[in-house]
Structure 1
Amino acid sequence: MNYNMEKFKNITVALNTPFKESGEVDLEKTRELVNYLYNKGIKSLYVCGSTGEGFLLDNEERKSVVEAVCEEVKDKMTIIVHVGCASTKHSCELAKHAGECGAHATSAVPSVYYRLGEESVYTHWSEITKASDLPFFIYNIPQLTGFNLSDGLLRKMCENEKVKGVKCSSDPAHDIGRYKAIGGDDFLVFNGPDEQYLAGRMMGADAGIGGTYAGMPELYLKLEDLIRRNEYDKAKKLQAIMLDYVYRMCSFGSLYGCVKSLIKLDGLDIGIPRLPFLPVSSEDDKLVQLHKDIKNTIEETKCW
C-alpha cells in the first residue's frame, strides 16, 4: 500500500483529553483545544494515548473524542489514533472506527496488564492492522507496559505492509537508531522521551510525539526548526532549557495535571485529569512561575 508518510514528520502533540467538572469527557473543549494547538502551529496530533488518559476512558468515550477531533480538524492536521486496549477485540473495534472517522493512522501498545510473549503481541498488533486500511505505528513504552520491542519482533512486524513505524518511548536513545536501521529509510521512528528530543533526532528519529508538547508547543516547534536548519549550538542550548522545564513539570507528581493547568494559564480551561491522576492547581506559585519562564523563553527565542 502506498501511503504519504511525509505528513507524519512533524511535532506531534499527544493530545490531552478535556473533562467537565462532572467527570465526563468535554467534547466542546476538545474542539477548542485542537484549534488552540493548530493556531500555535501544530499540525499533528496523537489522540487517546497515555497523555490523553486513553486507558481511563471506555471505548465509547474514546470514539467520541476521535470523532470530535476528526470533525474539527478535517484536512488541517494529521491525526494518529492510539487504539491500544488489553483486549485485541476492543483494539480492533477502535482501529476500525478511526478509519471510518478519517484519521490518518493508528497506533497501539502491546496488550497491557498480562505479561504476554512475543507471539501473542505479534498476533495482537497484526489483528489491529487488519481492522482498517490505515498505516500502523507500534508504540513501544516498556517502562509502563513491561514489554520491550525486540529487534526480531520488529523485523517480523515490518513484513506487514501496513506497519510504517515505531513511537519509541523507551529510555535509551540508541533504541531509535536500532529501530531505524531495521526499518530502513522509509520507516518512521518517533522520539518519545521529551527530555531527549534533540538526542532522538540525532539518532535518526524522523519526528516526535510527546506529553509535554502541549505545555510549550512553541518551544518544540522552535527546537525542530533549529535542527532542520542545522543550528545545533542553538538547539543544544534550547534543549537544555526545555529539559529543565520538563523536569519541573514532572515535579508536581501529576504531569497531565500540570500540563492542563499550564494550558489554563494560557487561557483555555480543559479541566483536570480523571482519577487516579491528581489535579495541579493553576494558582500554585511554582506552576505560575514555570508558565512565566516558558513564555519568556518563547519570546527570547523568536529571533533565533
Structure 2
Amino acid sequence: MSALSKITGVLPALVTPFDENENFDEGRMRAIVDFLIGRGVDGLYVTGSTGEAFMMSPEERKRVLEVVTDEVKGRVPVIAHIGAISTHLSIDLARHAEKVGADALSSVPPFYWGFSQDQVVSYYTDITASTGLPMCAYNVPLAGLFGFDMIKRLAEIPGVEGIKYTAPTHHDIMRVKAEIGSDFVIYSGADEMAMSGLAFGADGIIGSFYNTIPEIYLALYAAVKAGDMAEAKALQEVGNAVIFFTLPRNPIAAIKRSMAWQGADAGYCRKPFGNFYSAAEEESLKAEFRAFKAERGLTGVNFLDAI
C-alpha cells in the first residue's frame, strides 16, 4: 500500500488569508485550520492554486506551510503543493515540506515555456528523488493537462503515487485504476464533478469550495461510499448551485468572506484578484446570497444559514 493511499476523503484546497495590506495573516490561518478540522475534513491541501501560491515568494510559501503543519499537529494529513516552473525551486520547497512535517507533496507540471513531455517527466523524477515523501502529480487546465499516456509515464516514476485530476474526462479515472493499478491514488479536483469523480473510482476529492461548504461535500462523499447515489446527486446539485452563483463574484474572495460569516475570517486575496474591502461591498454580497438562498430554497448550507 502506498503512503498516499492513506490520505482519502474530503480535502479542502486551503485558502491563504492575507490582511488588508496583503500580508500573510498567521492568526487567521490558525483559526481556519481549526475551523476546518472541527468541521470534520479529512486532510488539507496547502499552497495550491486556491491558496494563491503563485502570488507568494518561496519564503512566504514556506511560512504558510510551517504555520499550517504546526497548527494541525498531526490531526489530519497535510499535502504540500510545491509546484513551480523551476525544478531547483520546487526541490527546495519539497525538502522544506518534508522537514516541517508534511505528509505528501503535490505539484503542477512546469508551465509557461511549453516544456516537452520528457522535460516534465524529468521535473517530477528529480523532485521525488529529493525527499522521502510521496508525490501527487497535478492535472489541471491552468498548467496544462496530461493525456492518459503521460499519466502512465508519471506513474512509473518512483515516488509518484497518485494524481490530482482536475479535468472533465472522468472515464480516464476508471482507466487509470484499471491499467495503472488500484493503488495509484486519484483525487478528483473539480468541485462541480465530485460525485462523478468518486463514482468513477477517485479515492478522495480536493477542491476550493470545501473551505466554505465542507458539510455538503462530506455528506456527498459519505453518500457515494454508502451507494446512495440519489442523495449524492442531490448534494452535488446544492454544491453546484453555490459554485455557479459564486464564480462570477470574485470566487476566492467570496469564499473567504463566506468563511468569515461562519466564524472563520479568511481575510483577503492578493491583487490582481478582487476583494470585498468595505462593509457596503460585503453587505451587497450577503444580500445577493440571501436572495439566491430564497430563490433556490436552499437549506443545510452553513454560511447561507449564518446570514
User: Equivalences for 1:182-201 in 2 at 5 Å?
Assistant: 182-201=179-198
Deviates more, 1:148-157 or 1:87-96: 148-157
Q: Does the 8 Å contact 1:45/1:77 carry over to 2?
A: yes
Report how far residue 298 of structure 1 moved. 4.2
Alignment CA distance shift 1:182-1:282 (3 Å):
farther
Report the AA paired with residue 97 of structure 1: H
Residue in structure 2 matching 1:227, options 212, 216, 224: 224
Partner residue, 2:209: 212
Question: Structure 1's 291 and 120: CA in aligned 2 closer, same or farther, altered over 3 A?
Answer: farther
Q: Which runs of 4+ in 1 moved over 4 A?
A: 288-295
Contiguous gaps of at least 5 residues in structure 2: 303-307
Deviation track 1:126-165 (CA, whole Å, cap 9, x = no partner) reads: 1111221000000000x211x2212222222222231110
Q: RMSD over aligned Cα, in angstroms?
A: 1.8
Aligned equivalent of 1:112: 111
* Residue 207 of structure 1: how far off its partner (Å): 0.7
Give the aligned partner of residue 40 of structure 1: 39
1:267-304 CA-partner distances (Å, limit 9, x unpaired): 222211101111144322113455788982248xxxxx
CA deviations on 1:174-199 (whole Å, 9 max, x unpaired) are 23223333331111111011111111
TM-score, normalised by the number of residues in structure 2: 0.91
SS in 1 for 2:201: coil
Contact 1:262 1:282 in 2 (8 A): no
- Write the distance in 1 (CA, Å) between the matches of 2:70 and 2:2: 22
**Percent identity (aligned):** 33
> How much has 1:19 moved relative to structure 2?
0.5
1:173 to partner: Cα distance? 2.0
Larger RCO: Structure 1 or Structure 2 (Cα < 8 Å, ≥ 6 residues apart)? 2
Match of 1:297 in 2: 300
1:158 aligns with 2:155: yes
Between the aligned partners of 2:113 and 2:152, the Cα distance in structure 1 is 23
Cα 1:90–1:290 shift into 2, 3 Å: farther
Instruction: Report SS of the residue matched to 1:11.
Output: strand
The Cα offsets for residues 98-132 of structure 1, whole Å up to 9 and x where unpaired, read as 00011000000011211111011111111111221
Q: Which residue of 2 aligns with 1:132?
A: 131
Partner letter of residue 243 of structure 1? Answer: N
Equivalent-residue separation in structure 1 for 2:301 and 2:145 (angstroms): 36
Alignment length, in residue pairs?
295
Partners of 1:294 and 1:181 in 2: CA distance: 41
Unaligned runs of 5+ in 1: 300-304
What is the letter of the counterpart of residue 174 of structure 1? H
Question: Once the 2 structures are TM-superposed, how far is the Cα of residue 35 of structure 1 from its aligned partner?
Answer: 0.2
The one-letter amino acid of 1:181's match is: A
- Residues 44 and 77, structure 1, Cα contact 8 Å, conserved in 2: yes
Q: Give the corresponding residue for 1:302.
A: none
| d(CA) in 2 for partners of 1:106, 1:99 | 9
Number of the residue aligned with 2:178? 181
Indicate the residue corresponding to 2:89 in structure 1.
90
Q: TM-score, normalised by structure 1?
A: 0.92
Q: Deviations over 1:252-274 (max 9, x none)?
A: 1x211110010011122221110
Q: Which amino acid aligns with 1:287?
A: F
Measured in 1, the distance between the counterparts of 2:77 and 2:49 equals 18
Q: Distance in 1 between matches of 2:146 and 2:16?
A: 27
Separation in structure 1 between the aligned mates of residue 292 and residue 98 of structure 2, nearest angstrom: 39
SS in 2 for 1:296: coil
Deviates more, 1:280-289 or 1:31-40: 280-289
Instruction: Report the alpha carbon displacement of residue 93 of structure 1 after superposing the two structures with TM.
Output: 0.5
